[in-house]
């Protein structure tokens, strides 16, 4: 786990909490009071990604943001089953331990599949959906940069020895490069500072279910088959249109699944849309929540 947050503590001024998954510690933030907003990050980010949204919303809402095992300030065991179903299991245990109800899911990247996996298991807990660039359905699309990281020998060397996945997302994920200050950059890099601490960055990439024989293929297939039941919920989609990974094809698919969703296309934003457009996103979320009590 990361022990020194001093370099970016003033932009991530939150109290760390830990849920015991025995024997592993599952880090999460729990800030503010009111209805629950559950923020779920992807790979290779962590709860740090949502710091500005939490700051902008925790005066009116309870903002909970876990770090998936292997990510952020959570434990990073080397011998662990880093698969989608296990991440959903962990999240469900945390949600039950906190007795969360009427949840608004706020999802990005792998958080889409993990969060919608929870929603499919426990639809009675979900009140609203906010989706950033993410997927929760099968797709044959694979960006070249990520495909390379799935290669048997190249992937482990690039991701674990050279930290190429985190550095690559920071290099290509933002269009407003001036927002990536040294302090912000340090916040993203800090949890993934050693070979051992990059284990989940690799395992997430390896777990992308491109073939029907993949372990997580039936899990994603089941999620996809059950998404339309949420069409009766208020749904907002905010999409960075310059995303090298979750491109317009994915947004088109969400439009087909959730035809009544409120959609904001952020033409200038990349994959890390919350970094690129947080000043626009916070009032959009506030209005969405107010209009859908």
Across the chain, mean pLDDT equals 95
pLDDT of the residue at 142: 74
Is the pLDDT confidence value at 1 over 70? Answer: no
Q: Is the dihedral angle over the CA atoms 67, 72, 78, 84 positive or is it negative?
A: positive
Its pTM stands at 0.96
pLDDT of the residue at 150: 72
CATH architecture for residues 6-291 = 3-Layer(aba) Sandwich (3.40)
Is the pLDDT confidence value at 34 over 60? Answer: yes
Question: Bridge partners of 219?
Answer: none
Express each pLDDT in 262-288 by its tens digit.
999 999 999 999 999 999 999 999 999
Is the pLDDT confidence value at 144 over 70? Answer: no
Express each pLDDT in 57-85 by its tens digit.
999 999 999 999 999 999 999 999 999 99
Higher pLDDT, 149 or 240: 240
pLDDT of the residue at 4: 74
**Banded model confidence at residue 25, pLDDT cuts 50, 70, 90:** very high
Dist. CA 220–CA 229, nearest whole Å: 15
Q: Which of 78, 77, 81, 103 is nearest to 92 (CA)?
A: 103
Query: What is the share, in percent, of the chain residues with pLDDT greater than 70?
Result: 98
pLDDT of the residue at 3: 59
Is the pLDDT confidence value at 2 over 60? Answer: no
Q: Angle, to 10 degrees, between the axis of helix 110-121 and the axis of helix 217-225?
A: 60
Express each pLDDT in 151-171 by its tens digit.
777 878 889 988 889 998 999
Token reading at 19: 């849920």
Dist. CA 254–CA 261, nearest whole Å: 9
Q: Which of 34, 33, 24, 102 is nearest to 66 (CA)?
A: 24
Token reading at 14: 């939150």
């Amino acid at each position: 786990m990361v022990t020194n947050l001093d370099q970016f503590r003033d932009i991530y001024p939150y109290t760390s909490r830990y849920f015991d998954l025995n024997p592993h510690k599952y880090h999460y933030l729990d800030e503010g009071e009111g209805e629950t907003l559950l923020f779920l990050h992807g790979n290779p980010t962590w709860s740090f990604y949502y710091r500005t949204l939490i700051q902008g919303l925790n005066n009116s809402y309870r903002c909970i943001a876990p770090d998936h095992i292997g990510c952020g300030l959570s434990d990073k065991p080397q011998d662990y089953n880093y698969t989608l179903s296990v991440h959903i299991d962990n999240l469900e245990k945390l949600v039950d331990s906190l007795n969360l109800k009427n949840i608004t899911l706020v999802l990005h990247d792998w958080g889409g599949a993990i969060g919608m996996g929870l929603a499919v298991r426990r639809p009675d807990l979900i009140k609203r959906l906010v989706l950033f660039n993410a997927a929760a359905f099968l797709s044959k699309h694979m960006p070249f940069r990520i495909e390379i990281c799935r290669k048997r020998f190249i992937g482990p060397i690039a991701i674990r020895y050279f930290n190429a996945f985190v550095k690559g997302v920071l290099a290509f994920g933002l269009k407003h490069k001036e927002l990536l200050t040294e302090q912000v950059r340090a916040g993203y890099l800090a949890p993934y500072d050693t070979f051992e601490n990059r284990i989940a960055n690799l395992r997430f990439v390896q777990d992308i279910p491109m073939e029907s024989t993949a372990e997580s293929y039936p899990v994603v297939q089941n999620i996809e088959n059950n998404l339309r039941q949420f069409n009766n919920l208020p749904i907002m989609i905010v999409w960075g249109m310059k995303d090298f990974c979750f491109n317009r094809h994915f947004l088109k698919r969400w439009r087909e699944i959730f035809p009544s969703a409120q959609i904001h296309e952020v033409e200038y934003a990349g994959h890390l849309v919350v970094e690129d457009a947080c000043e626009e996103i916070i009032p959009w979320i506030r209005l969405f929540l107010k209009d859908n009590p």
